[in-house]
């Protein structure tokens, strides 16, 4: 049962750190989501874990580095880039070659082709494949050795909604059988549905790791809506107990820093009538945006819709008349 231990991973490109002193663990029986803004260092980390990039630090799979594993595909299945195959080698032959190199029975090739919905194009050449079909072939290769660990970089990239749902169920059942999944994705709603644990990075450094529930609970977007005909008095009493209170509309408060039970008690003690108490849990997206706010490398600047198309663009904005987003490095 593979515990992945990454210790002190680091990599610089041209003197600029891409990953810095990054350590985390991935536990069997769980899907661990790997999150970070664009350029945070997720792909670099995954390559370092598999010894595909030179850098500092170690990663072990049940105590063994990937490069020391005998027949690695039978231990760790990886999908790190879209279309990791020769464009003209037929899909089935590509998998047969990988199977032979890793002492995997050839019967497994047809099994994974079937499992990934690629049986009908087994004799097709990958250069004719769509992005999603290429991604399925990459996943077929990752699953070929029936490994106990999966490391997947954006596996849902290019998949249609059925494909995305399918991969979610696949990864959940893979983990439920006691195996380990480490998966990056920008699809936070998907991540919220499938991940048990998270590793969150920004600018190559660890921001948070642990159960997804704890990460979401730590967000300041967790709040309680309190409706009262005595909202002003209630707000004052709650502030006196250290809560942050925002008046959303007459008679309706958004409260953070106290849970619903505590708010009810404060109201009771002050003889304030309450008409409604509704806890609101932060979304993973809210918690993620909050946690990575300070470590976003690329910011999009979006001009408001309806801007005068003839007006000069704001300083630093894209000049292409059809494009309103700019990706630029900030100066932090
Ligand atoms: N081959 C390379 N040469 C130079 N710089 C690189 C190279 N690969 C990555 N980088 C830089 O390292 C940093 C981390 O990149 P990486 O691709 O690991 O981030 P990421 O989190 O996977 O991003 P994304 O979410 O956009 O895929 C970025 O600043 C990137 O520009």
CB 144 within 8 A of CB 73: yes
Query: Would you state the torsion angle of the CA atoms of residues 214, 217, 221, 223, taken in this order, to the nearest 10 degrees?
Result: 180
| Residue 229 CA, distance from chain mean position | 42
CB 41 within 8 A of CB 292: no
Instruction: Quote the ligand 1 centre to 167 CA distance (angstroms).
Output: 25
Q: Topology of domain 4-217, per CATH?
A: Rossmann fold (3.40.50)
Q: Which residues of the chain have pLDDT under 50?
A: 309-332
pLDDT value, residue 81: 74
Instruction: Quote the ligand 1 centre to 146 CA distance (angstroms).
Output: 30
From residue 241, alpha-carbon distances to 7, 244, 259, 267 in Å are 42, 9, 12, 11
CB 136 within 8 A of CB 121: no
Instruction: Quote the ligand 1 centre to 111 CA distance (angstroms).
Output: 35
Q: What is the pLDDT of residues 133-156, one digit of tens each?
A: 888 889 999 999 999 999 999 998
- Phi and psi (nearest 5°) for 82? -70, 140
Smallest CA separation from ligand 1 atom 3, residue: 13
The CA angle 44-148-93, to the nearest 5 degrees, is 80
Q: Count the neighbouring beta carbons within 10 Å of the beta carbon of residue 148.
A: 19
* Rg, the chain, Cα only: 25
CB 25 within 8 A of CB 278: no
Provide DSSP, 222-274.
-EEEEE-TTHHHHHHHHHHTT-EEEEEETTEEEEESS-HHHHHHHHHHTT---
pLDDT value, residue 328: 31
Which value does ipTM take for this structure? 0.97
Does domain 223-280 match CATH 3.30.70? yes
Instruction: Quote the ligand 1 centre to 316 CA distance (angstroms).
Output: 23
Smallest CA separation from ligand 1 atom 24, residue: 38
Atom of ligand 1 nearest to the CA of 201: 21
Tokens standing for 272?
């304030």
| HSE toward the beta carbon, residue 62, CA cutoff 13 A | 13
Atom of ligand 1 nearest to the CA of 154: 27
pLDDT value, residue 309: 47
**Which conformational region is residue 90 in: left (phi greater than 0), alpha (psi within -120 to 50 degrees), or beta?**
beta
- Listed by start position, the domains of the chain span 4-217, 223-280, 297-329
């Amino acid at each position: 049962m593979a515990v992945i231990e990454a210790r002190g991973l680091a990599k610089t490109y041209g003197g600029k750190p891409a990953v810095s002193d990054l350590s985390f663990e991935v536990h069997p029986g769980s899907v661990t989501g790997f999150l970070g803004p664009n350029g945070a260092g997720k792909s670099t980390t995954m390559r370092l874990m598999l010894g595909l990039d030179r850098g500092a630090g170690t990663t072990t799979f049940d105590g063994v580095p990937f490069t020391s594993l005998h027949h690695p595909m039978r231990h760790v299945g990886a999908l790190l880039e879209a279309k990791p195959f020769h464009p003209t080698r037929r899909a089935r032959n590509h998998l047969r070659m990988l199977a032979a190199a890793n002492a995997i029975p050839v019967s497994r090739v047809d099994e994974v082709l079937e499992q990934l919905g690629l049986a009908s194009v087994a004799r097709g050449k990958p250069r004719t494949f769509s992005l999603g079909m290429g991604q399925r072939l990459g996943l077929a290769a990752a699953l070929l050795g029936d490994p106990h660990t999966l490391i997947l970089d954006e596996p849902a990239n290019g998949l249609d909604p059925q494909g995305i749902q399918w991969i979610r169920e696949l990864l959940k059942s893979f983990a439920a059988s006691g195996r380990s999944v480490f998966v990056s994705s920008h699809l936070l709603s998907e991540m919220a549905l499938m991940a048990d644990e998270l590793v969150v990075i920004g600018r190559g450094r660890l921001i948070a790791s642990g159960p997804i529930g704890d990460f979401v609970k730590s967000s300041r977007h967790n709040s309680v809506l309190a409706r009262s005909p005595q909202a002003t008095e209630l707000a004052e009493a709650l502030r006196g107990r250290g809560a942050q209170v925002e008046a959303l509309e007459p008679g309706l408060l958004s409260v953070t820093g106290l849970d619903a039970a505590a708010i009810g008690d404060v109201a009771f003690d002050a003889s304030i009538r309450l008409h409604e108490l509704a806890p609101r849990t932060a979304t993973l997206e809210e918690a993620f945006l909050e946690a990575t706010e300070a470590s976003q490398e690329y910011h999009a600047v979006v001009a408001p819709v309806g801007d005068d198309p003839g007006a000069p663009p704001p300083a630093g904005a894209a000049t292409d008349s059809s494009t309103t987003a700019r990706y630029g490095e900030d100066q932090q």
